[in-house]
Amino acid sequence: MRLRNKPWAQDMIDDHPGIVVPDPENWKGKWKELFGNENPIHIEVGTGKGQFITEMSKLHPDINFIGIERQKSIVVSSIDKIKESGQENVRMMNVNAMELNQFFAENEVHRVYLNFSDPWPKARHEKRRLTYETFLQSYEAVLIPNGEVHLKTDNQGLFEYSLHSFSKYGMILNNVSLDLHNSDIEGNVMTEYEEKFSAKGNRIYRCEAVYRSK
Ligand code: SAM
């Protein structure tokens, strides 16, 4: 994602504490209190500009969504979308997903979405890929037993790597599609990257990976 310097980003984040949670570590184990209900929590890691999470929150009012985006200049793009939607079941966190277990307790998250994650194609950057083993461990640490990671990307290299990484970790793969937009998988909500790359004719790869019981 191309970054524009937005010196006002922190001020905008600070002005919207009801959307970008200011002290997410204080809600560890207590997210149900923040949302005021017992609904399952789904997180999106690397939310980008927030189209997916906002649309998902409208389609699924019985799920609480939390978007995790480490770049301030990108988080701000999600604020207006969430504000306009008027949805109460969606929040953002401006943090690095590497530290996920500082923000969520065991069994607190029901599903993780990874959409068009940065591919980091160089072998020496493998550890930065959001499907690298250490990330799979952090997701597992906060997910319910048999929790799921749903991934989609147009990057064949990242997709193949991720299938391998999920399998090596002992996860079960479901609903794998090598061409999501021409598949019978229903209810797809497009992300900003998905719109851009599918308009260029790129194929979208998608899978669900399920943790085995702890
Ligand atoms: N999911 C969006 C979409 O499909 O339009 C954005 C895709 S963009 C290529 C990847 C995003 O993930 C970037 O905004 C980046 O800042 C964010 N990101 C990458 N690694 C992250 C991490 N460890 N923690 C939080 N966000 C991360």
Give pLDDT tens digits for 3-27. Answer: 677 889 999 999 999 999 999 999 9
Distance 190 CA to ligand 1 centre (A): 15
pLDDT for 16 equals 97
Residue 40 contacts residue 111 (beta carbons within 8 Å)? yes
Centre of ligand 1 to C-alpha 152, Å, is 13
Mean pLDDT for the stretch of residues 176-199: 96
In whole angstroms, give the CA distance from residue 70 to residue 3: 12
Unique residue bearing structure tokens 């250490």: 134
The identity of residue 55, as a single letter, is E
Among protein residues, the one whose CA lies closest to atom 2 of ligand 1: 48
Closest ligand 1 atom to the C-alpha of 114? 1
**Percentage, residues of the chain above pLDDT 70:** 98
CA pair distance 50, 82, nearest whole angstrom:
8
In ligand 1, the atom with minimum distance to the C-alpha of 98 is: 23
Look at residue 97 and tell me whether its pLDDT is greater than 90: yes
Please tell me the pTM assigned to this model.
0.97
| 204 Cβ neighbours under 8 A, 6+ residues apart | 152, 153, 154, 177, 179, 180, 181, 194, 197, 198
- Cβ–Cβ under 8 Å, residues 30 and 38: no
For residue 207, the model assigns a pLDDT of: 98
Q: Read off the pLDDT of residues 24-61 as tens digits, 9 standing for 90 and up.
A: 999 999 999 999 999 999 999 999 999 999 999 999 99
Taking the C-alpha atoms of residue 85 and residue 198, their distance in angstroms, rounded to an integer, is: 25
Which domains, ranges and CATH numbers included, belong to the chain?
A: 21-210 (3.40.50.150)
Q: Residue 138 has what DSSP assignment? A: H
Mean pLDDT over each residue of the chain, to the nearest integer: 96
The two beta strands, 41-45 and 90-93, are unpaired
Task: Calculate mean pLDDT across residues 193-207.
Answer: 98
